[in-house]
Structures are given as structure tokens and as C-alpha cells.
Amino acid sequence: MPGTQARVATVAIAGLGLIGGSLAAALRESGFAARIVGWGRRDTSLRRGVELGVIDAYTLSLEEALAADIFVICTPTLVAADLLQDVLRLTLDSDRPPVITDAASVKGNLQRAALDACDGSFPAHLVLGHPIAGSERSGVDAAQADLYRDHRVILTPQAETDAAALALVRDMWLATGAEVVEMDVARHDAVLAATSHLPHVLAYALVDALARSDASEEIFRFAAGGFRDFTRIASSDPVMWRDIAIANRPALLEAIDQFSAHLGELRAAVETGDADGLHSTFTRAKAARDRFAASLAERGKGSSDAAAVGQPETAKRIQSQE
């Protein structure tokens, strides 16, 4: 917004892909920071970011990037843990460390990495976070300033987290048009395992099982709409999802086991011809899914498949404290 004073002087974005690039673009547009600087180990996407106007400048020097007010780790999930440890070692003894935050899909592994790097004591200037947004495209060329608008960002502050650091990261995401909510790390990882990581594993497992069966040619020939929707997420990036499965192992195993238990109950109902049991499970599931679709429509997403049934859920917004 022209004429409005920036909230901070500099935000550094580590890893300039879709996520980091879109955050940079959104912050530049909002005027939240006077300067957006990119950091990475190679300059290819960083030079492209400057070309596209996504960032103002870039550096290959981690120390230089850490002179920023906020340093946002936007690298792939497993890379993020190592980078976080490097960054913490470089900033722990600083008088004025940057606020460090991130955008990775899993929080528990980063929490553990942080504790390891800081001798078991969670660093006050670290605010772990996860923007729930994405696109089928990737790379800085896919960056969109509105990627986070009306999307949710989950922050997972600890008891040790500095209140001003938390407020700053919250305001940063609010400036992109996102809603910001807070949750504890374990809850975050469990919720994401249930709603995102497990469905991906199930879709991959189904497609792989069918592709390797001896009827695979006919199976794919006669598959139609329901199969298409169900397996769409099996077209996702195998590298990203391998890393998420590794990073969120405990919560994902728990989610797989809970799912398998329910599938086992359904299998037993099919085997015994328990029509009432099947009907009540399917009815309960349909009701839950219809409520979910209605709430998505209420939030302005997925309107093409919303059924106007049930109570729409209201989003819990945390407004800026300024």
C-alpha cells in the first residue's frame, strides 16, 4: 500500500520455489517489508526471482541473509531441518537474532531439530509455521501473490516463544491475506496426517495396487469419474511426498493404523453381509462429508461440489494485535 510504512525493513526468503516465491510476491505487494531478499545455495531461481520482480535482491551468504528482521525457511521439508539447525547455530548467541520461521508441511521433525541444535532448550526467536496452500505447479515461475489469500496458516508456538516474535510472524502472514490459527505441534502433525498425508498414501497405494494387478489394463480402461477424483492426488510429486512421509512418520503411522482399523471393520461388515452396519457407516460418512463440502463453500472454496446441507463452520481468525 503506497505511503504506508513497512512493518519491517527486511524479510529473507530461504528457498525460492512456489511457496517462498509466492510469499515474497505477496509481501512485496502488501508493503509489509521494505525489502524482500532471497537466499539459496545456487543462484538460478534467485536470479529468476529478481527478474520476475518477486524479490528485490538475493544473496548466497547465509550470514548476510540472517541480517534480516524475519528469515523464512521455504525449502523442501527434509532440507528445512538441516538448514534450521545451521541457522540456529549461527543466531543463538546473537544480540538481535532475526525471527526465524518456516513453511514446511510437518512440524514435529523441525521442533526436534531445533531442540537438538539448542541443547534441549527451544529457541525463543523461532516460530514454526505451515501455510496450507499449494498449486500443481512448482518453482519460482509459478509464484502467485494471491496464493495465500483466504487460506489458513497454522503457527505452532511453544511456551518459550517470544510474544513479539509470534506477533510479527502472525502479521507477516496476515499481510498475505491469509487467516492465522495456532495449534500445538503434535496436533498439527496429527491433523495434517489425517487430512493430507494419509489420503496421499491411500491414493498412491490404490493406484499402485491396481497398476500391478494382472487385470491392470482393463482396470484403467474401465475406470471413470469416481476413480479419477479419488486418485487425482496420486499424480502429486513423488519426491515431495516421500519426504513428507519420512518427516511425519509417527503421526502418519498412527493415521494409517486408525484407518486400517476402520477398513477392517468395514471388511468384516461386507464379509458377514451386515447391511445395517454398512448403511450406518456410509450414512455417517456421507453426512460428515456433506458438512465439510458445505463449509468449504462457505469459505469460498470448492463451490462446485458443495451441498447446501449442515452447519457451515466459521473460521477462527486471529487478528493483528497492532
Q: Which of residues 200-229 bind a second copy (CB under 8 A)?
A: 200-213, 215-229
Of the candidate residues 152, 155, 175, 180, the single one contacting a second copy (CB under 8 A): 152
Report, in Å, the least distance between residue 246 CB and a second copy: 6
138 lies in the site for a second copy, by CB under 8 A: no
Backbone angles phi, psi at 182, to 5 degrees: -120, 150
253 lies in the site for a second copy, by CB under 8 A: yes
Of the candidate residues 93, 95, 119, 271, the single one contacting a second copy (CB under 8 A): 271
Angle at alpha carbon of residue 190, lines to 268 and 152, rounded to 5°: 125
33 or 155: CB nearest a second copy? 155
Q: Return the half-sphere exposure (C-beta side, CA atoms, 13 A cut-off) of residue 113.
A: 21
How large is the C-alpha radius of gyration of the chain? Answer: 22
Q: What is residue 260's three-state secondary structure?
A: helix
260 lies in the site for a second copy, by CB under 8 A: yes
**Stretch of 47-55, 85-93, 161-169, 287-295 contacting a second copy, by CB under 8 A:** 287-295
95 or 275: CB nearest a second copy? 275
Q: What is residue 54's three-state secondary structure?
A: coil
Bridge partners of 126, per DSSP, are: 100
Cell 501473490 -> residue? 145
Q: Return the half-sphere exposure (C-beta side, CA atoms, 13 A cut-off) of residue 33.
A: 29
> For residues 213 and 210, what is the distance between their CA atoms, to the nearest angstrom?
5
35 lies in the site for a second copy, by CB under 8 A: no
Write the interaction track for a second copy spanning residues 173-192; mark x where CB under 8 A is met and - where it is not: ----------x---x--xxx
Report, in Å, the least distance between residue 149 CB and a second copy: 14
Size of the site for a second copy (CB under 8 A): 98
